[in-house]
Chains A and B, each alone.
Chain A
Amino acid sequence: MKKIKRALLLLTVFSMLAAVISGCGADTKDAADADGKITVSVGLWPDKDTEPKSYERMENLRTSFMEENPDINIVPDTWKFDIQTFMPKAEAGTLPTIYRAFFTEASKIMEFGYAADITDAIKENGYYGKMNDYLYSNISKNDRVYLLPYEMYSLGLLINMNLFREAGLVNENDEPIIPKTFEELRETAKTIHEKTGKAGFVFPTAENGGGWNFMPLAWSYGTTFMEQKDGNWVSTFNSESCTDALKLLRDMKWEDDSLPANTKVNNEEVIKLIGTDQAAMAFAHPGQLNSLVNSYGMDRNDIALAQMPSGPEKHVTLMGGSFYVIEPNATKEQINAALKWIEFTGFSPDIDDEGKERYRQTMETKREQDADIIGIFDITVWNEKATSQSFKRELTNEFRNIPEKNVKSYNDNKENIEYQVEEPVCAQDLYSVLDRCIQEVLTNKNADCATILETANSDFQNNFLDYEN
């Protein structure tokens, strides 16, 4: 009896162990589920509790899509891209069939093979050739396309109208008096600080946000950050132009005192400082603006977005965005089904009457829900060959909920400015190096910009670029 008991005990322990071990390695992904449907899981699904309105909208879309396409099963997945959970998920093969990631991660995702090749599929459905040309280098590798740009952004100058009004920087029509150059930006910030006591300008310094915002500033002073010489990457920002760009920040901090006292600021905190009337200006793109309303309760009349000021050498801004990725293990059927779904949600170069109607409904609900800011035009994925472009613009104007005068400068000036994408190699590493430079300049009154950049330049070469060559 005892023996049997003991044997049973051992057996239980071992079977539990076996279950644990086999559970770890189980591959639960199937292209088709039991009733022969093609399963497509979609990431970035809104959370039922925290975003009930968007959740409802997506659920409705999902139901009508599955009615129209009975052979496709859409499975919601609330996972949203985040670098820390991404890699483990990619390795475990548990990524949703469609996920969305940022332009900054594009090269890594393609290099590590975490994206399916969609070249044939988008040639078939006619997307190929209708995208803006400058995008191709960012979404393809060896002439194969892996990523599908979803939305593009370009940085502009975010303005808090409350502080502008308080400082008398609005005209008789309540339009902000926008700084056109970085010198004017400095003067404006100084005026605001003198008249309101609040920070005139806020520049991020932490979590790579500082380096990211520093790009358009330094570019417009004429800086090139890296060059390829004889096939080797060489760091080149120990230049006079870069020093001048950094000096602007130093002078704004120590001569004008127009930057906030706290110098550990990440991108989110920048928005918070603007949203709580603690700072008047910052660099931002339209996608960052919704939280001004949603998280900080700002009135849309008090938000303005202007074009990026120009520098002594160039008038340039940073372009980025996000793109759809289809996970690398997807079958051909899954890829096609995924593209169908993406098109159904309103993303396609051409639009038929049905699509127009759906888009109108989406805009109506958006307007009703009053969560997003409607009325800002950013740069677009599609070129002039796409018919959906003009329609969407019309509709956006119809449903706008931010006064046009507040965003006119950003909306109307798409031609007179250059768009530059992030640096080709080690962009995030460059940002981390530049973050440190900006921190040094903003915390050390006697900092010498040229020396700091000399060190940073050789650090960047030695710690990062040398390993790319």
Chain B
Amino acid sequence: MIGARAQGRGGHNRIGGTLPVLILFLPPALLVFTLFVILPMGEAAWYSLYDWNGYGLPEKFIGLKNFELLFRNGAFRQALANNALIIVISLAIQLPLALWLATMVSHRIPGAVSFRLIFFMPYVLADVAAGLIWRFVYDGDYGLFAAIASFFSVASPYVLADKNLAIYAVLGVIVWKYFGFHMMLFIAGLQSIDKSYYEAAEMDGATRWQRFRNITLPLLAPTIRLSVFFSVIGSLQLFDMIMPLTGGGPSNSTQTMVTFLYSYGITRMKVGFGSAVGVVLFIICVTLAFGYKRIFMRND
């Protein structure tokens, strides 16, 4: 009887307490999020159908003309190709490198913690700073590349000014900056694998490779999928690092979708055209996120 009354009182409080908390706690987040994330995204879709310079109201409706112009634009196609290349390189070089290093420093060997920190450090630096540092490294007159070239007495290469090489130089910086982050993800994944699997395999005389292939890889699969996901999303929004390195040049050879959006949409205040780039980027991101979740991350 007493218990029931206490419960009743609790229930009463709950109802009486729900409304104030809803009114006070939810609206700030809803307002900020709607105003600065959802509405702008919707507006991007709307503006992308207009030819508009951002002043007054968008009135010159041109249908899908912006998208047509976009896909005809050589620089944009180059940007798409570069984004794809960045994804491929991240998956083909960065992930194996990160996994290889993770298997080495996840054991308790002397110095493991220091190595982990050193490898992770580039990740906390701003992309802009990393880009500027490497701009110096690649500099044909003063940088490390110049020194190496003069050591072998060959003409110093101007890597960032060469439209065939520049994108690979950029890719190098991307790997340099981000492999440590993926390594940390893998270390966390490796440490959650039950050690007794390895002990059992050792007793059965499994070789190091067999243990890696048959225990580590399958049990690390969720982490690998996560790491792939971050590589893809990160590659698609690459901007900060490109600006100090090449600014998208030479002759658009290192353009990404976002640098293209910046130099063709924002600096020229072509709101409609720039929004069309945003919409394409949005569609790619959402398709990849949903597709990836559906296919690969169903069980995670």
The answer on A and B forming one complex is no
